[in-house]
Chains A and B, each alone.
Chain A
Amino acid sequence: MQGAFFNFSRKTIPVDWNLLITQLMNGLQLGLLLFLLASGLTLIFGIMDFINLSHGSFYMIGAYFCGTVVSVTGSLIAGIVVALICTFAIGAIVELVIARRLYRSDHLDHVLVTFGLILIFDTLVHMIWGAAGMAIPLPEILNGQLHIGTLVLPTYRLVIICSGLLVAAILFVLVTRTRLGMLIRAGASNRTMVEALGVNINKLFLIVFAIGATMSGFAGMLIAPITEASIGMGNEIIIIAFVVVIVGGIGSVKGAFFAALIIGLMDTIGRSYLDDLLKLSLSAEVAETAAPALSAMLVYILMAAVLAFRPQGLFPPAGSK
């Protein structure tokens, strides 16, 4: 499958289409995981005006609950179902006990309290499960590969993509076609007006927070069979999820979806092709060193560009300022 050639500064790079398709799928998978995290984050941020740094902790908790149930029952489905219920419950408890008291406080208070929550959750996980991390075994059928023509894709990665798209579709229907979704959209555009119209805003906040936590937990469950569940796994990805929120437009689920896909693809394509591109103009050694640093920077460069030229984000919620 060594197909077409690109002309680039008088040198040519052969394009391997199998590789390109695989990398696009990898980018899609990363993007959808980011979306699961960022959609909850953007709603909580957009509707409650609440900065939840500990959103990543639900990602970790989801993975650990799922791993524990799988190791006891041996069933991945049971693990996911139980862990979804548990993360929903923990999300609701955090909202009721902690977040609720903070909505009217300053953003800095949110950051302080939710950073404290990260430390508490990380230490709790360390105390309960130890530092070693937790592997989640996959059923044999998911550990294999799918062969499509000459293309070979790991089955489980396709499962992640399908689950991510499914959740995105459910969320889309929820937000655009239901009464709850209408309230969510209204809350994201103009919270004061929604409150003034007599909507039970406390209940709405509780549901949004818990759903956000559940989706974050679901993302953790999906990734854990690949990378293992580990302490602080959510803290690594939450920063990128915040970037997604900002690029997509605060409070916009649609924005989170497209921004997540853009960032996922950009990161993956950067990691795959940047060193080859740099080698065209730089020495091999410089390119090898610069490429990983540059591809890690790309998403922040994108965020800076969005903040400079379109500070409301790519797809801000309708009617927001």
Chain B
Amino acid sequence: MNKLSKILSSSILAVALSGVGIGAAQADSVKIGFVTTLTTPAAVIGEDMKDAVNLAIEHIGGKMGNLDVDLIMEDDGFKPDIGKQKTDKLVKQDDVDFVAGYIWSHVLLASMKSVLDSGKFLVSANAGPSKIAGKLCHQNFFSTSWQNDQTPMAMGEHLSKQGVKSLYVMAPNYAAGKDMVAGVEKTFTGEIVGKDFTKWGADAQLDFSAELAKAKSSGAEGIFVFYPGKAGGAFIKQYQQSGLQDVLPLYTVFTVDAIALPKLQGGNLAGVMGSKNTQFWSPDLDVAANKKFVGDFLAKHDRYPSFYAAQAYDSIMLINSAVEATGGNLEDKDAVRAAMKAANYDSIRGKYTYGNNHMPIQNFYLREVVEDDAGRWTTKIVDTVYTNHQDPYAADCAL
């Protein structure tokens, strides 16, 4: 049996391995490294971001100021260790000026030190772990998304206002999952009657039968979930198959998005129609830059961009604004930093400002799932929950 265990461990090791990336060097250019997930089923998120980054570069004509844009995409394989390796490669081998991207909080936390210790700029286009907003905040870190807690806080606020008295909570067992639950707990005034953290990563748990049965028997008045990427679609499917939409209204953050909705529509899972979620942005947000982004994205790819795409688009636009403001002099780190902190660009969310921890201070909206004029399922803003909201960890940041 010794042989067997050897084989088993080698197979587990083999499954843990992943691919490699390629990079190129050029002079007189802005080098941007972009780390996202391009393999595993989470690649659907990474590809959405990649499409948005390419659209942003197209919109600025491939140039930032008078410098060419040299973009290097890297795949983190949905794993913190691989993400860190790729980040090290971008920083040391490619010597990029900016590192952007990062879908996953645990990948960002593992990779941030490599970027920041080298004096380069780090722009998170999604992940917003509480640590990086608080104690670990850094002058060269900027976010074009949000701090993890904020979106669920907006949902908790909405639920309390609606008079929902009890809630069942489910999230994946990793850094962001914990933040999301902490967020909704901060503002929800009712009782949280049950909580499940499920296995996450490349081998994430996708069958939620046991948890849904528990949620149902808990007698809660609603269920709050955070399941980004493909887990979201799987969750909603099972939610409907268990017949819970009649007894346990669904409230989500980062789960019902432009990635999940087309597939839910394909499976005709109408249980998601009318369900509420909170977000800093929506495809229908009435901002000129957003109309251009969503319109061109729709025309080019025949699908709505997700919020991941919107943030990725903004990350390029934020870097562009700093490069232009400094006249392409990227050696002057202080000037680049000051320009980024000003957030002086046409964001898809409209004008926003940066807090001391370089997290956006921005609005959060309540959105509802609806069908658009062309019959596509999408989200529509129905209310503004927070105006110019700052994350709760800003006070812990020494900046």
Q: What residues of chain A have their CB less than 8 Å away from a CB belonging to chain B?
A: 16, 18-19, 22-23, 26-27, 29-30, 51, 53, 71, 107-108, 111-112, 115, 118, 126, 130-133, 135-138, 143-145, 152, 154-157, 223, 225-228, 230-233, 235-236, 239, 242, 246, 250, 268, 271-272, 275, 288-289, 291-293, 296, 307, 311
Let me know if A235 and B15 touch, CB within 8 A. Answer: yes
B228 interface residue per 8 A CB criterion = no
Let me know if B15 and A271 touch, CB within 8 A. Answer: no
Can you give 14 A-B contacts (C-beta < 8 A)? A19-B216, A22-B217, A27-B210, A51-B7, A71-B266, A132-B263, A133-B263, A135-B237, A154-B238, A157-B209, A232-B40, A288-B195, A292-B197, A311-B1
Among A16, A30, A126, which residue has its beta carbon within 8 angstroms of that of B207? Answer: A30
User: Which residues on B sit within 8 Å (CB–CB) of A155?
Assistant: 241
Query: What DSSP secondary structure best describes chain A's contact surface?
Result: helix
Let me know if B243 and A223 touch, CB within 8 A. Answer: no
Please provide the 9 A-B residue pairs with the shortest distance between their CB atoms, ordered closest to farther: A131-B43, A230-B41, A26-B209, A227-B206, A145-B243, A236-B203, A135-B267, A19-B217, A22-B213
Among B38, B199, B241, B259, which residue has its beta carbon within 8 angstroms of that of A226? Answer: B241
User: Which residues on A sit within 8 Å (CB–CB) of B12?
Assistant: 239
* Interface residues as binary, B203-215 with A (CB distance below 8 Å gives 1, 0 otherwise): 1101101110110
User: Which residues on A sit within 8 Å (CB–CB) of B230?
Assistant: 133, 228, 230
Let me know if B234 and A227 touch, CB within 8 A. Answer: yes
B85 interface residue per 8 A CB criterion = no
Question: Residue among B46, B230, B233 with the most chain A CB within 10 A?
Answer: B230
B: contact size bracket: 35 or more
Residue of chain B at shortest CB distance from A30: B207
User: Which residues on B sit within 8 Å (CB–CB) of A136?
Assistant: 267
Residue of chain A at shortest CB distance from B237: A226
Question: Residue among B10, B12, B47, B209 with the most chain A CB within 10 A?
Answer: B209
Let me know if A272 and B214 touch, CB within 8 A. Answer: yes
Let me know if A131 and B8 touch, CB within 8 A. Answer: no
User: Which residues on B sit within 8 Å (CB–CB) of A246?
Assistant: 1, 4, 8
Let me know if B41 and A137 touch, CB within 8 A. Answer: no
Let me know if B202 and A226 touch, CB within 8 A. Answer: no
User: Which residues on A sit within 8 Å (CB–CB) of B259?
Assistant: 132
Let me know if B14 and A228 touch, CB within 8 A. Answer: no
Among B1, B14, B214, which residue has its beta carbon within 8 angstroms of that of A111? Answer: B14
Interchain nearest-CB distance for A38 vs B (Å)? 14
How far does the alpha carbon of A107 sit from the alpha carbon of B198 in the complex, in Å?
Answer: 34
Let me know if B11 and A53 touch, CB within 8 A. Answer: yes
A152-B263 contact, Cβ under 8 Å, with A19-B214, A132-B44, A227-B206: no
Let me know if B234 and A228 touch, CB within 8 A. Answer: yes
B268 interface residue per 8 A CB criterion = yes
B300 interface residue per 8 A CB criterion = no
Let me know if A293 and B7 touch, CB within 8 A. Answer: no
B240 interface residue per 8 A CB criterion = yes
B5 interface residue per 8 A CB criterion = yes
A144-B44 contact, Cβ under 8 Å, with A30-B207, A157-B209, A268-B209: no
Let me know if A135 and B217 touch, CB within 8 A. Answer: no
Let me know if B243 and A154 touch, CB within 8 A. Answer: yes
How far does the alpha carbon of A29 sit from the alpha carbon of B242 in the complex, in Å?
Answer: 14
Within 8 A of A (CB), among B185-235: 195-199, 202-204, 206-207, 209-211, 213-214, 216-217, 230, 233-234
How far does the alpha carbon of A223 sit from the alpha carbon of B241 in the complex, in Å?
Answer: 13
How far does the alpha carbon of A42 sit from the alpha carbon of B269 in the complex, in Å?
Answer: 37
A156-B241 contact, Cβ under 8 Å, with A16-B217, A53-B14: yes
How far does the alpha carbon of A226 sit from the alpha carbon of B41 in the complex, in Å?
Answer: 15
Let me know if A239 and B1 touch, CB within 8 A. Answer: no
Let me know if A242 and B8 touch, CB within 8 A. Answer: yes
User: Which residues on B sit within 8 Å (CB–CB) of A138?
Assistant: 241, 267
Question: Residue among A135, A136, A232, A271 with the most chain B CB within 10 A?
Answer: A135
Residue of chain B at shortest CB distance from A236: B203
Let me know if A23 and B197 touch, CB within 8 A. Answer: no
How far does the alpha carbon of A126 sit from the alpha carbon of B237 in the complex, in Å?
Answer: 23
User: Which residues on A sit within 8 Å (CB–CB) of B7?
Assistant: 51, 107-108, 111
User: Which residues on B sit within 8 Å (CB–CB) of A223?
Assistant: 207
B173 interface residue per 8 A CB criterion = yes
User: Which residues on A sit within 8 Å (CB–CB) of B234?
Assistant: 226-228
* Interface residues as binary, B11-48 with A (CB distance below 8 Å gives 1, 0 otherwise): 11011000000000000000000000011110110110
Interchain nearest-CB distance for B73 vs A (Å)? 14
Interchain nearest-CB distance for A145 vs B (Å)? 4
Residue of chain B at shortest CB distance from A295: B199
Interchain nearest-CB distance for A211 vs B (Å)? 22
